């Protein structure tokens, strides 16, 4: 039977990456998606910007919206201090099955909690069910029309504190116009655009970093 793209990405990890070596997992996925078949990972160019923001924030708690195959999940978690935790939300069970195996191959199960479900349903349960106070860093990479409603929902649920950092992928391509307009015009956010390219292509894209001012 025909394999799926996420299954082929997992195969590339299992064939080319070293168990317990997160950076080799990241490298294996990038090489596969650049040379064999494109996939919607944040990729290496935007990934370097992601690395620098993670290192600067040095977060104890991270929320990722949209796991897909776990590329950015592993990339972020590999930079976290000991005892730091990353919660990643994935509604597509097929993606979740693959991402769990990619995370396991990287040896990062202890830092990462993958929760299956939709962000709109899970965000209100973060405090009671997952013992979260607030998030130091949120990486938005799920459906682009959910970035704004979920940001407002995180505010309403008291999950953001003064200084919490939101980092949003794809603000140019595919684009998140309503979200960009909101974070750039709201007095409660200080935003900065990091110009880059759509993963594995020359098409313009970028990341928007927005600090919640409380």
Known catalytic residue at 199 = yes
Q: Which of 95, 147, 182, 200 binds ligand 7JE (CB under 6 A)?
A: 95
CB of 214 to ligand 7JE, least distance (A): 26
The half-sphere exposure of 210 on its side-chain side, counting CA atoms within 13 A, is 25
Query: What mask, x for binding ligand 7JE by CB under 6 A, covers residues 99 to 138?
Result: -------------------xx-------------------
**Out of 30, 44, 136, 169, which residue is the one contacting ligand 7JE (CB under 6 A)?**
169
147/189 with CB nearer ligand 7JE: 147
The answer for residues whose C-beta is within 8 angstroms of residue 140's C-beta and 6 or more apart is 65, 66, 147, 150, 151, 166, 167, 168, 169, 179
Question: In the beta sheet, which residues pair with residue 138?
Answer: 63, 166
Q: Is 157 in the site for ligand 7JE (CB under 6 A)?
A: no
Q: Closer CB to ligand 7JE, residue 136 or residue 169? A: 169
150-189 positions binding Mg ion, by CB under 5 A: 169-170
Q: Is 169 exposed, middle or buried (0-12, 13-18, 19+ CB in 10 A)?
A: buried
C-alpha radius of gyration, the chain, whole number = 16
Residue 169 annotated in active site: yes
Sites for ligand 7JE among residues 28-67 (CB under 6 A): 40, 65-67
* 197, burial (CB in 10 Å: exposed 0-12, middle 13-18, buried 19+): middle
29: partner contacted, choices ligand 7JE, Mg ion, none (Cβ within 5-8 A by kind): none
209 touching ligand 7JE, by CB under 6 A: no
Rounded Cα distance, 85 and 171, in Å: 26
Pairing of strands 112-116, 135-140: unpaired
The conformational region for residue 58 under phi > 0 = left, psi -120 to 50 = alpha, else beta, is left
Binding residue (CB under 5 A) for Mg ion from 64, 90, 141, 208: 141
Task: Please give the residue ranges that form the binding site for ligand 7JE (CB under 6 A).
Answer: 40, 65-68, 89-92, 95, 118-119, 141-143, 146, 169-170, 173-174, 198-199
């Amino acid at each position: 039977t025909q394999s799926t793209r996420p299954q082929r990405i997992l195969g590339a990890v299992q064939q080319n990456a070293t168990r317990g070596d997160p950076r080799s997992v990241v490298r294996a996925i990038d090489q596969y998606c650049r040379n064999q078949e494109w996939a919607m990972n944040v990729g290496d160019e935007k990934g370097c910007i992601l690395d620098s923001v993670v290192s600067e924030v040095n977060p104890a708690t991270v929320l990722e919206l949209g796991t897909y195959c776990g590329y950015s999940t592993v990339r972020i978690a590999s930079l976290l201090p000991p005892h730091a935790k990353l919660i990643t939300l994935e509604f597509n069970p097929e993606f979740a099955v693959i991402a769990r195996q990619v995370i396991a191959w990287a040896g990062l199960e202890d830092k990462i909690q993958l929760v299956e479900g939709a962000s709109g349903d899970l965000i209100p349960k973060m405090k009671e069910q997952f013992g979260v106070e607030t998030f130091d860093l949120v990486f938005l990479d799920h459906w682009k029309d959910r970035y704004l409603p979920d940001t407002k929902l995180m505010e309403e649920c008291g999950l953001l504190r003064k200084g919490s950092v939101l980092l949003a992928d794809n603000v140019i391509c595919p684009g998140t116009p309503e979200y960009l307009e909101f974070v750039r015009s709201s007095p409660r956010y200080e935003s900065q655009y990091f110009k880059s390219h759509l993963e594995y292509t020359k098409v313009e894209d970028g990341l928007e970093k927005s600090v919640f001012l409380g």
